[in-house]
Structure 1
């Protein structure tokens, strides 16, 4: 259900710059451990500010920063969030703000937090606390070693590369899906190697265990498995009064199961995200996590919609709302702004990537001739590998 707005005349001064909906999200529970909260934050709606103010508000209202778990999509985001919390709470409490940030020790990525918790509980789950964490390159090299040991690098047909093998393994772990399903839906060209891949992954796991090594996926996998141990799960969940998660649309099934184990009834749990921005499927991100969240607990999550956009113009948002409206399943929202513009975005159709690159370059040159310097222009694309044809055309 949606919350009703509190009278702004009773709003604390440090929340004065927030709009009514942002305040609803920030004041949910008013500092106490409340039921689950879902904040649907449309693009440019001040999501980061809202989340930072919520954490600060909890601290101002008496929450122990050491018992707040804040998980973001990147280390940089966690650092920036902590600095905002420090500034906001510091202004209200009138003390050295760094004390607040130092106490907010559980702010980071899922993987970073997972690594710390695994060291805390290592002996209880059969791990050596001195385990080493492999990055993606090291993990791919270990996968390649196992590949050579099994003779798969000398097969008659071309066996998947080490990078592809690791990607398949990672997808299966994060999606919590059978290998056959992963191959059929994401890596169909590798489906003929299913039995060999099973053997390879078993050898890869054995090699990690023998070397006391964990890869990035293990940091989530072992954490999720701790959630299946009642005593450990209860102790772990009891360490945190409030759990807040940013970019929830980009979480996968493994991460969702971790949250459910931490807070089975949703108490103290806040997730922020936008189903319309679930487009990258990074590490097997699952949009159902955010779509199903409101009904996941016995007490349905309360929902706050952040629809006011602070970045764009009416005409751009009209186009965006039209595209979002085509989704077969979604949270209904309508982005709006006070920023006016007579200029409308263009939808341009081209035959292929080469023609697309040519069109973009011509548009850039046209803008330059109209007086817009090259350094004042930007080209956005979805993924870095999409830049190839454009870079060639720009160079030409």
Structure 2
């Protein structure tokens, strides 16, 4: 670990570029400071619209193109496939396309593909679907389908938080471990849990991965759970090449294991860490910036856009009442009244509105059901844009089924097996 840290410091020891010009020239002063601070653990507090993705990508491009750091030792970590695709695209545009970009899950998968034996993972392991795990759990414990789904959620939380659990959840966790070991599969949470185990128990593997990724930037830091934090901590060594970016005011995923203490913990684990704040908001109007700061009791960011239309607040009794209000508001606006008119003003809209002029945003897919019911009752046509899971697509299910029916052939690579399964489906 120490050797990897020393290599990281040597790689960043080149003199910094001039203050003017270069990759960082287009950043504001706070962004430039965050992107250009190298060689020390760094925590960047970045609220919505502050340009954190811009900082992340420019930091890595600065390391590669102006500090002489090989792109192959740079890593960006985030949470979703879409986010990794965006980061990879932006890095390529900045001339740093050789940097590794991973979600936490694909990072764990890469570690297990190389060193999984250290955690007892069988070669050629696969990732079991939720449906398969639920059915296995139902059969092993005699649970109903509903109970199996509930236990899967409870087990996921145990794994994310590093707890063993007791009672039904503890029994389900033990059963899934036995079933996975016997049948050669893991689940998505295991990709991180077992990768942590590899780095904790195999010094050679830990040294390899610390040397492999000497500069790490982790996005959406407020969303990390216990095991994701430990994975970053184990990879980072002394932390001299680690930069985490996030916003404690957006830490809303505690119900699924996110650890809101990660910011204080980072400062404790890396006493030499610097903390920087991106203080400008480029996305929202001044009205939204001021209102959100008042709601959170926080210092307002410096809005870079002028004030916009006033914000109207409706307090609903429950999700159905909220959905009914949304539907009624749309009906009122379609009737020729703008939002101010619907709430007491006599202002008239500049142009007639149609259904296509409205969008309803919600945080999680579970909130969609009440909205759909309200729109159906009101006769409001709508289109739900949330994509269906790719695993639920009939064609994907057919190919996966064909793969399971095929005899395992260790000599065939995945692409060949997929092609053969697809051919079986076409027949």
TM over 0.5: yes
The answer on whether the counterparts of 1:133 and 1:214 sit within 8 Å (CA) in structure 2 is yes
The 8 Å contact of residues 305 and 333 in structure 1, kept in 2 or not, is answered as no
CA gap of 1:351–1:74, structure 2 versus 1, over 3 A, is: closer
Residue matched to 2:85: 79
Aligned to 2:41: 36
Between 1:130-139 and 1:242-251, the stretch displaced more is 130-139
Contiguous gaps of at least 5 residues in structure 2? 1-15, 337-348, 378-427
1:250, distance to aligned residue in structure 2 (A)? 0.7
The structure 1 residue matched to 2:319, chosen from 345, 353, 366, is 353
User: Residue by residue, what CA displacement relative to the aligned partner does 1:214-250 show, whole Å, maximum 9, x if unpaired?
Assistant: 1111111111112222343233212221011111111
Report the CA distance between 1:312 and its aligned residue: 1.1
Counterpart in the other structure of 1:58:
63
CA distance in 2 between partners of 1:163 and 1:138 (Å): 11
The partner residue of 2:109 within 92, 101, 115 is: 115
* 1:390 Cα deviation from its structure 2 partner: 1.9
**Contact map agreement 2:46 2:246 (CA 8 A) in 1:** yes
1:15 Cα deviation from its structure 2 partner = 2.6
For residue 173 of structure 1, the aligned residue among 146, 154, 159 is: 159
Question: Aligned residue for 1:378?
Answer: 359
Matches within 5 A, 1:190-339: 194=167, 196-229=168-201, 230-281=203-254, 283-299=256-272, 301-325=273-297, 333-339=299-305
In structure 1, distance between residues paired with 2:274 and 2:363? 32
TM normalised by structure 1 equals 0.81
**2:48 matches 1:48:** no
**Preserved contact between residue 40 and residue 240 of structure 2 (Cα < 8 Å):** yes
- C-alpha contact 2:223 2:258 (8 A) present in aligned 1: yes
CA distance 1:282–1:200, change in 2 (3 Å): closer
* CA distance in 2: counterparts of 1:358 and 1:222, whole angstroms: 46
CA-to-aligned-CA distance 1:89-143 (integer Å, 9 cap, x gap) = 2xxxxxxxxxx52x32x31111111111111113344332211111333322322
Determine the structure 2 residue equivalent to 1:189: none
Partners of 1:130 and 1:351 in 2: CA distance: 51
Cα contact 2:116–2:198 (8 A) shared by 1:
no
The verdict on how the C-alpha distance between 1:177 and 1:323 changes in structure 2, with shifts beyond 3 A counting, is: farther
SS of the aligned residue for 1:108 comes to strand
For 1:387, which of 357, 368, 371 is the aligned residue? Answer: 368
Cα contact 1:307–1:333 (8 A) shared by 2:
no
Aligned residue in 2 for 1:93 = none
Residues 71-90 of structure 1 show CA distances to partners (whole Å, capped at 9, x for unaligned) of 1111221121111111112x
Greater shift in the superposed pair: 309-318 or 350-359? 350-359
Does 2:8 match 1:11?
A: no
Q: 1:161 aligns with which of 122, 147, 155?
A: 147
Structure 2 equivalent of residue 68 of structure 1 = 74
In the alignment, structure 1 segments of 5+ residues that lack a partner are 1-6, 90-99, 154-158, 181-193, 326-331
Supply the distance in 2 between the matched residues of 1:79 and 1:382 (Cα, whole angstroms): 21
Q: Distance in 2 between matches of 1:162 and 1:36?
A: 42
The alpha-carbon deviation at position 333 of structure 1 amounts to: 4.5
Count of aligned residue pairs for this structure pair: 345
The Cα of 1:178 is off from its aligned counterpart by: 4.2
The higher radius of gyration belongs to 2
Partner Cα distance (2:171, 2:23) in 1: 58
User: Per-residue deviation at 1:342?
Assistant: 5.4
Residues 202, 8 of structure 1: CA spacing in aligned structure 2 closer, same or farther, 3 A cutoff?
closer
> Offset of 1:160 from its aligned partner?
5.8
Structure 2 distance, partners of 1:221, 1:41, is 28
Structure 1 residues 338 and 263: CA distance shift in structure 2, 3 A: closer
Inter-partner Cα distance in structure 2 for 1:333 and 1:26: 23
1:148-182 superposed Cα distances (whole Å, 9 cap, x missing partner): 3xxx44xxxxx9611111111110111113425xx
Bigger shift: residues 204-213 or 256-265: 256-265
For residues 43 and 119 of structure 2, the distance between their equivalents in structure 1, rounded to whole angstroms, comes to: 32
SS at match of 1:227: helix
TM-score w.r.t. the length of structure 2 is: 0.75
Taking a change above 3 Å as real, the CA distance of residues 107 and 337 of structure 1, as seen in their structure-2 partners, is same
